[in-house]
Structure 1
Amino acid sequence: MCRHVAYVGDPVALGTVLSDPPHGLLRQSWAPRRQRYGTVNADGFGVGWYAPGDPVPARYRRAGPIWADLSFTDLARVVRTGALLAAVRDATAPGADGEAAAAPFASGPWLFSHNGAVPGWPDSLAKVAAALPAAELLSLEARNDSALLWALILHRLRAGDEPGAALAATVREVAGAAPGARLNLLLCDGRSVWATAWGDTLWYRRDEAGRSTVVASEPYDDDPGWREAPDLTLLTATRAEVVLSPIEEPSP
Structure 2
Amino acid sequence: MCRHIAFVGRPEALGELLVRPPHALLRQSWAPRRQRHGTVNADGFGVGWYAEGDPVPARYRRAGPVWADPSFADLARVVRSEALLAAVRDATEAGADGEAAAAPFAAGPWLFSHNGAVRGWPGSMGPLAAALPATELLSLEARCDSALVWALVLHRLRDGDEPGQAVADTVLDAARAAPGSRLNLLLTDGVTIAATAWGDTLWYLAEPGRGTVVASEPYDDDPRWCEVPDRALLTATRTDVLLTPLKEPSA
State the TM bucket, normalised to the shorter chain: over 0.9
CA distance in 2: counterparts of 1:66 and 1:54, whole angstroms: 26
TM-score normalised according to structure 2 size: 0.99
Task: Please tell me whether residue 25 in structure 1 is matched to residue 25 in structure 2.
Answer: yes
SS in 2 for 1:221: coil
Whether the 8 Å contact between 1:188 and 1:194 is mirrored in structure 2 is: yes
Are 2:216 and 1:217 aligned?
yes
Counterparts of 1:179 and 1:154, CA distance in 2: 22
Output the TM-score relative to the length of structure 1: 0.99
Distance in 2 between residues matched to 1:210 and 1:72, nearest whole Å:
27
CA offsets, 1:56-114, max 9 Å, x none? Answer: 00000000000000000000000000000000000000011110000000000000000
Q: CA deviation at 1:249?
A: 1.3
Deviation of 1:245 after TM superposition, in Å, equals 0.4
Structure 2 unmatched ranges of 5 or more: none
Give the Cα–Cα distance (whole angstroms) in 2 for the partners of residues 105 and 90 of structure 1. Answer: 16
Amino acid at match of 2:241: V
* Deviation for aligned residue 1:210: 4.1
- Residue 235 of structure 2 corresponds to residue 241 of structure 1: no
Confirm or deny: 8 A CA contact 1:210 1:241 kept in the other structure: no
User: Within the alignment, does 1:115 sit opposite 2:115 as a pair?
Assistant: yes
1:18 shift after superposition: 0.2
Is the aligned partner of 1:60 residue 2:60? yes
Gap regions ≥5 residues in structure 1: none
- Please show how residues 130-145 of structure 1 align to structure 2 within 5 Å: 130-145=130-145
- Whichever residue aligns with residue 243 of structure 1, its letter is L
Please report how far the alpha carbon of residue 211 of structure 1 lies from its aligned counterpart in structure 2 after TM superposition.
2.6
Structure 1 runs, 4 residues or longer, greater than 3 Å off: none
Alignment of 1:73-84 (within 5 A): 73-84=73-84
What percentage of aligned pairs have identical amino acids? 76
The answer to whether the 8 A contact 1:46-1:60 is kept is: yes
The aligned length equals 251
User: Within the alignment, does 1:51 sit opposite 2:13 as a pair?
Assistant: no
1:248 to partner: Cα distance: 1.6
Cα shift readout 1:105-141 (whole Å, capped 9, x = no counterpart): 0000000000000111000101110000001000000
CA RMSD of aligned residues (A): 0.5
